[in-house]
Structure 1
Amino acid sequence: MAPLTQQKQPQSNSGFTLLEVLVALAIIAALVAIVAPGWLGLLNRQRMNTAQNAALAVIREAQANAKRQNRQWQACFRVADDRVQSLAQALPSRSTPTSFCATDAPGWEDLIGGESDQVAINTATTSFLTNGPGVYYVPFRFDGLIDDERLGAASVPTRISFQPREGATPANQRCVAVATLLGAIRTERGPACNL
């Protein structure tokens, strides 16, 4: 028998050259540079809208509970460990000012869950009453109206404003305003949140 001769297989030139790979990477980098700011802006808007809706829910909860239980309630907001948190709280009596959104009160929850560290309270445009640094509240009487005695010198409308922790601009600010002494609540955005 004759030895088997190995047939020479044609050499394949499949694959990409270094130049082709570099061009593809440059195109991808350019697309990412174009899309990334818009994507981050979208995420910030979503966070601000979520924070605004959550704050609105807490304020309405406090107001509704005041009417339903025929007692004083307040909606509280604070910054703890760089996280915005909220609490709807009943007041034991008018004579206990230390109970106004006490930081050791049970029930404080992150305003928007795991992303609460991406939101900040805009102290320049927030006019809720304050109970120490970083703690803000709005009080409601037993009938759901704003407790104007506790509100004192603060003006109506009174509001809480939120902005992204990074990249804040007046346009991406969101707020919830208690607009009248009767307790009408409205949401605002952008420059409308300025006092």
Structure 2
Amino acid sequence: MDSLAFTKNLQHQSRRIFYRNASKTPTASEKGFTMIELLVVIIIIGVLSAIAAPGWLAFTNKQRMNAVNDAALNTLREAQREAKRTKQSYSISFKTDADGVPQVAVYLAKDSKGILLPASSWKKLGENQEMPKGTVLVGTNLTGVNTAGSSLTPLTGNQTQPITFDYQGNLSSEYNSPNLGPNNKGLIVSVALTQSGFSGTKRCVIVRTLLGSIQTGQDNQCIP
């Protein structure tokens, strides 16, 4: 067989193979996923989501708790700075709104003796953080102006007794003699998840000395 005949024969065989393959009916794998396969994938995704959701929720709530604690720390420092800057006594109080969301107010101490602060004085703690109702629990050991008690009291709708800084940024003795409580634990603002309460994981801010030293703590450090 010469080369020309061989080439023609090869072309003829190639055309036969091409047309035979083109006329084949696609197999199940060539058609794509079957309904059963899709259902299996959906079930697997559902199971994985159910496993991951509680862990993600716990992580998110812990981040909210940390954000509220950071906000309490920053606001206490803000009150102390304003007292030093203006050479006037400044106070800070906490409360919760009707939805159980913690709030804070910084104000001139002389403007609030014996009166409730107006609604415009309050802002949400962790105001840039989404805070579903009843997620975070905030409490203090304040029993009077700059006076520490021996237990944490959860915030209610009423404003707490204030923490007041004098013109030097120290705990003011103008309205009440500072009393940091037994063992000098300090004035404590504690934050926990509502679900576990103050017996669970906690974060806190502590005004520990008469000089207005502000520190953060966690868990056992947050117990008066």
Which interval holds the TM-score relative to the shorter structure? Answer: 0.7 to 0.9
Deviations 1:143-193 (A, max 9, x none): 211124526555250111112234557453211100111110001122321
CA contact (8 A) 2:109 2:164 kept: no
**Aligned counterpart, 2:176:** 150
The counterpart of 1:115, out of the listed 104, 116, 130, is: 130
The 3 A distance-change label for structure 1 pair 97 and 169 is closer
CA contact (8 A) 1:127 1:154 kept: no
Q: CA RMSD in A?
A: 2.8
**Aligned counterpart, 1:5:** none
Detail structure 1 runs of 4+ shifted over 6 Å in the superposition.
none
**Aligned counterpart, 2:71:** 54
Query: Which one-letter code corresponds to 1:192 in the other structure?
Result: Q
The 3 A distance-change label for structure 1 pair 158 and 186 is same
Secondary structure (helix, strand or coil) at the match of 1:106 reads helix
TM-score, normalising length: structure 2: 0.68
The 3 A distance-change label for structure 1 pair 55 and 35 is same
Q: Of the two, which has the highest radius of gyration?
A: 2
**Greater share of residues in helix:** 2
Question: Distance between the aligned counterparts of 1:193 and 1:54, measured in 2?
Answer: 16
Could you list the runs of 5+ residues in structure 1 that have no partner in the other structure?
1-7
- Structure 1 residue 112 displacement after superposition: 1.5
Tell me if 1:183 matches 2:200: no
**Aligned counterpart, 1:87:** 105
Tell me if 1:104 matches 2:121: no
TM-score, normalising length: structure 1: 0.77
Query: Which one-letter code corresponds to 1:188 in the other structure?
Result: G
Could you list the runs of 5+ residues in structure 2 that have no partner in the other structure?
1-22, 146-154
Question: Distance between the aligned counterparts of 2:187 and 2:81, measured in 1?
Answer: 18
How many residues matched?
181
